[in-house]
Amino acid sequence: MKFHPKENAQEKSYKLALKIIAVCREIQNTRKEFVISKQLLRSGTSIGANLQEAVGRQSDKDLYYKVTIAYKESRETKYWMSLLYDSTYIGESDFKELDELNNELLRILGASLVTLKKKLKIK
């Protein structure tokens, strides 16, 4: 699944969250796996939640902090989905779609953090 280039990180994180919800629902209903899939569900849906909090930021430093949390949650999401894939709970096509969506978000969030660091003169 390719994103339209004009979509922002919030829209992309929402699409990722919807896909994660669908995949986790499938794993829980058919494979009866609840522990790791719940971790994926939590981290994968919190990326967008943190970006929404960034919209209501109180300062540029608060924005940086919220984007940092979203980036970390995206890294955690990568771990959980890889673990589910390597343990054969997620098939290759679902994994590839999730991985592509998440990698796109990691690139956007990483670039945003670099820009914000320069703007805020954070080392």
In contact, 1 and 101? CB cutoff 8 Å: yes
pLDDT at 80: 98
| Residue boundaries of the structural domains of the chain | 9-120
CA 68 to mean position of chain CA atoms: 12
Low-confidence ranges of the chain (pLDDT < 70): 1-6
With CA atoms as reference, report the closest residue to 46 among 77, 24, 25.
77
Is the domain spanning 9-120 CATH 1.20.1440.60? The answer is yes
Measured CA to CA, the distance from residue 42 to residue 58 in angstroms comes to: 25
pLDDT at 123: 77
The whole-model pTM stands at 0.91
